[in-house]
Amino acid sequence: MKTLRYAKRLIGFESTSHLTNRVISKYLQMKLVKHGFEVEKVEYRDANRVRKVNLIAKKGRGEGGLAFFAHTDTVPAEDWFSNKYGPFEAAISKERLYGRGSCDMKGSIACMLTASQRFHSDDLQQPLYMVFTADEEVGFHGARKVVEESATYREMVETQTRGVIGEPTQLEVVHAHKGMCIITATSKGKAAHSSTSLGKNANLAMIPFLAEMKRIHDEVEGDAKWQNTMFDPPSISWNIVINDSNDAANITSPSTTVVIYTRPVPGVDISPLLDRVRATGEQQGLEVEIVDMGSVLFTDSDNPFVQDSLGLAHRSAARTVCFGTDGGVLSELENLIVFGPGNIAQAHTRDEWIAIEQLTLGSEMYTKMIEHWCC
């Protein structure tokens, strides 16, 4: 089975986000060129000066067509469950393929490669695109570079190419997902022995800020105006993480950091909440940084592309998910869904796996999509 062979090969490339993805990208570029794609590379160096590569490929002529999107980076695998084989050594057991990235999302890439190779350029009446990005797991930086610099992506936007993001959905059609926003508040103090008056405890300024964050937390969980019932859970969430890095009770804490992870939902404007965060931080003399990590994805469930995808997949209705994807960055594309093999519950786990049946079905579904929109 070609898809399984591809998936095993891809797992063998260690492409954790803090490392370069040059090697796996070189392999993918070779396969794409061999099977008739013209490949554009968008390269950059991340915040640590590590070289990263995005591939944007096209096969066939004409306008519109179909684009598959996937990322080549993975999360770390420091606590892998097996001593028999490592996280970057593909292993098969009980009809499952184990390995870091097997589910998220090298399995999808394997399905995309297999499906695309079933078609010669002359078979295509409309173009087929493949986009493989870096750094999805750490802030969608690769996708942002593609949007900013890729001439091929600009062509997709101009012709409104249909897009399929291959994140694991068990091959259910997903038409919307939440966004991601990270708030960091820092209080500065001065360390000293707590028996003296020489120190300044950073926690004292943070406590009133936390009280307001708790009020916001309760509000977003209890007030329907901050929720969208298409999602489960429906709220924007308001996860609070506290760290003063102080292991001794007799030292005044010199610094305290609070991080809040919130997930905006389509149709809800969270700017009033962010204004409250900024105002409270200013009142307490805190340093507050708010970073939009990724926007929501929303394609109307009545959109013809969504409806046609449901028909091809033999599904009755599109659904939503609470995790984010590169789709939050690709907002200029009006016809965009998330649709891929595997279950998100297996992603990022210490024993990450994908069912081999999902790989088979995934390559079949991607083949149907190419036939429908490109041939």
d(CA 256, CA 243): 6
Q: Name the class of domain 180-294.
A: alpha beta
Domain ranges of the chain: 2-177+295-374, 180-294
Spatial contact of 166 and 116, defined as CB atoms under 8 Å apart: no
Segment 188-193 shows an average pLDDT of 95
Neighbours of 178 (CB within 10 A): 28
Q: What is the pLDDT of residues 341-350, one digit of tens each?
A: 999 999 999 9
User: Is the N-terminal amide bond of 105 cis, ω within 30° of 0?
Assistant: yes
Please report how many Cα atoms fall inside a 13 Å half-sphere around the Cα of residue 152, on the Cβ side.
Answer: 26
At 80, list the tokens. 């892998």
> φ and ψ at 229, to 5 degrees?
-70, -5
Q: pLDDT grade, residue 130 (50/70/90)?
A: very high
**Strands 162-165 and 336-338: what pairing?**
parallel
Give the pLDDT confidence score for residue 294 in this predicted structure.
86
pLDDT, tens only, 248-297:
999 999 999 999 999 999 999 999 999 999 999 999 999 999 998 889 99
Number of Cα atoms under 13 Å in the Cβ half of residue 47: 6
pTM of the model: 0.93
CA distances from 319 to 128, 172, 229, 336 (A): 25, 7, 12, 13
Under DSSP, is residue 229 helix (H, G, I), strand (E, B) or coil?
coil
Instruction: Match domain 2-177+295-374 to its CATH number in 3.40.50.2300, 3.40.50.300, 3.40.50.1240, 3.40.630.10.
Output: 3.40.630.10
Our CA dihedral for 174, 131, 32, 357, rounded to 10 degrees, sits at -20
Contact of 369 with 66, CB cutoff 8 Å: yes
Q: What pLDDT band is residue 1 in, cutting at 50, 70 and 90?
A: confident
pLDDT digits (tens, 9 = 90+) for 144-177: 999 999 999 999 999 999 999 999 999 999 999 9
